[in-house]
Structure 1
Amino acid sequence: MEVLDQLHRRIVLKNTPKRIISLVPSQTELLCDLGLEDALVGVTKFCCHPHDITTKSLVVGGTKQVNLVKIKALKPDIILCNKEENTEEIVKACELICQVHVSDIYTIDDSRELIEQYGKLFNRPWQANELSAKIKIEVSNFINFIEDRKTLEVCYFIWKSPWMVAANNTFINHLLELNKFTNTFKYCERYPEINLEASGRNDSVEVVLLSSEPYPFREKHKEEVQVFFPNAQIILADGEMFSWYGSRLLKAFQYFRTLRLNLENNLTY
């Protein structure tokens, strides 16, 4: 079997992989939802869905640092990585152990492509195609829901000390656009650092989203941000809904509907 990953790297496998290591939490959840939980021999410490996966599979590190000795000892058939989550050094090191598939996600279409690639790789074509089709329907229904709603200016924070936001050329920004949110930092690339003190007060931002990951923003951080965005609603956002690009998308759009309705109940138009 020969496939190309999302970096167009050629992967050749004699048989369907039976021993899988996933170095990306959202991809771990996706594999389990495709019925491959028993094939997962290694995961990261951040893989939290299903909630007990780290008790069933060996933890081989995080997403930026891994234990190559543990990985090699597991004798994997394939290791699953992501261009954004994992470093190039990790990918190269893993390639010395076995075949490595690298995902690269910017849009919903990229997400569906990955799901369908996994369906082919792991002999789950029916499950993958069904999941991809369900996500397509969810997106279509949400577009109908959001179509006539007002566009809101938003900031999406992912980190503190230093403050960092999600900007252009990210999956998060793609989902913000689907939600009819205009990203204040859409002219910046990726995840820039922001000096709030130097930038000063911004009266145009209507919504500030403080993500639950990778930095665990809490209620206490709302007041810190409100000073710089006095006219904005400050929301603690579920980061999984905005950044996990696998089967989590089946739950994301209901979350987005609820978020929008809650915002409308508090905003003055």
Structure 2
Amino acid sequence: MKQYSLIDDIGTQHTFDKVPQRIISLVPSQTELLVDLGLEAKLVGITKFCIHPKDLRIKKQIVGGTKKVDYDKIRALAPDIIICNKEENTLEIVENLREICHVWVTDIISVEDNFNMISDFGNLFDCVAEAENWNRKLALAFSNFKSFIATKPVKKVAYFIWKNPYMVAGSGNFIDELLQLNHFENAFANQPRYPEIELEKLNPDGDLNYVFLSSEPYPFKEKDALKMANYTNSAKCIFVDGEMFSWHGSRLLKAFDYFKELQQKL
């Protein structure tokens, strides 16, 4: 095979003499995507948070989490490429890993970014047909969902991702993109990324419709909803599946069905 070059989402050019055969993924949602693209056999290392498919952590070497990794374990696996994400992994991790092998970094904010990532993986790992098939399925589901949601009224929501301190989804991230797609006006869209907030300032104008408590990265419980109710000013607390709102990749196909169910419950 001839030498080929590709550019990742942060502008780094990678030149390969052959298709990478030994892959480490440090992003749970992208691990799932790699498996769905038929690349499970090439995965040699994953994180402890790579929970889909369910049995993958039994089969593959765990090399740490998304914010802290075991560099010795990674070196011992002799990877050809390590898959990272700008939001999930730290710049320090990425720079250190570059001393070992190629580090491909994704940056997924929009649904269009998601389509592009899948196409990139198709070219990167010589599985173009599989990538195109996934993008066709996602494009159809995306179109169907946009038709479904078109007549739904816009509701104002606050989407919580963390406790101690309380943090919510702001703008410029995949969660905000999917909230907008669902006709949810993000109450904190005027702040970037994931701002910390005080519960006392959660709903000062009393115009919130819902407070979404995500299942991840912080697993909110019923006691959290009860406490939150003291500050919501009639906004209803709803538990939502964090994977559906924050995992990109092939998970988005299941997310569209989940969003329809959620809309019908509200």
Amino acid at match of 1:249: L
Shift of 1:72: 0.4
Q: Does 1:180 align with 2:183?
A: yes
2:129 matched residue in structure 1: 126
Amino acid at match of 2:105: V
1:154 matched residue in structure 2: 157
1:257 matched residue in structure 2: 260
2: CA distance, partners of 1:92 / 1:167: 27
2: CA distance, partners of 1:170 / 1:200: 22
Instruction: Give the SS at the match of 2:48.
Output: coil
Match of 1:94 among 74, 97, 120: 97
1:137 matched residue in structure 2: 140
Q: Does 1:75 align with 2:71?
A: no
2: CA distance, partners of 1:224 / 1:202: 19
Shift of 1:55: 1.0
Kept after mapping to 2: 8 A contact 1:79/1:98: yes
1:267 matched residue in structure 2: none
Kept after mapping to 1: 8 A contact 2:203/2:233: no
Kept after mapping to 1: 8 A contact 2:202/2:232: no
Moved over 2 A (4+): 197-202
1:16-31 alignment, distance < 5 Å: 16-31=19-34
2: CA distance, partners of 1:231 / 1:143: 29
What is the RMSD of the two structures over their aligned residues, measured on CA atoms? 1.0
Amino acid at match of 2:195: P
2: CA distance, partners of 1:187 / 1:83: 22
Instruction: Give the SS at the match of 1:79.
Output: strand
1:224 matched residue in structure 2: 227
Q: Does 1:8 align with 2:11?
A: yes
List per-residue Cα deviations over 1:32-74 (Å, max 9, x = no partner). 0001111110000000000111111100000000000000000
2: CA distance, partners of 1:135 / 1:207: 28
**Count of residues in Structure 1 that have an aligned counterpart in Structure 2:** 263
2: CA distance, partners of 1:224 / 1:259: 23
2: CA distance, partners of 1:66 / 1:104: 20
2: CA distance, partners of 1:252 / 1:95: 33
Kept after mapping to 2: 8 A contact 1:201/1:228: no
2: CA distance, partners of 1:5 / 1:103: 6
Structure 2's unaligned 5+ residue stretches are none
Amino acid at match of 1:11: H
1:43 matched residue in structure 2: 46
Instruction: Give the SS at the match of 2:213.
Output: strand
2:37 matched residue in structure 1: 34
Match of 2:251 among 248, 252, 267: 248
1: CA distance, partners of 2:80 / 2:58: 21
Select between 178-187 and 212-221 the one with higher mean Cα deviation. 212-221
Amino acid at match of 2:133: E
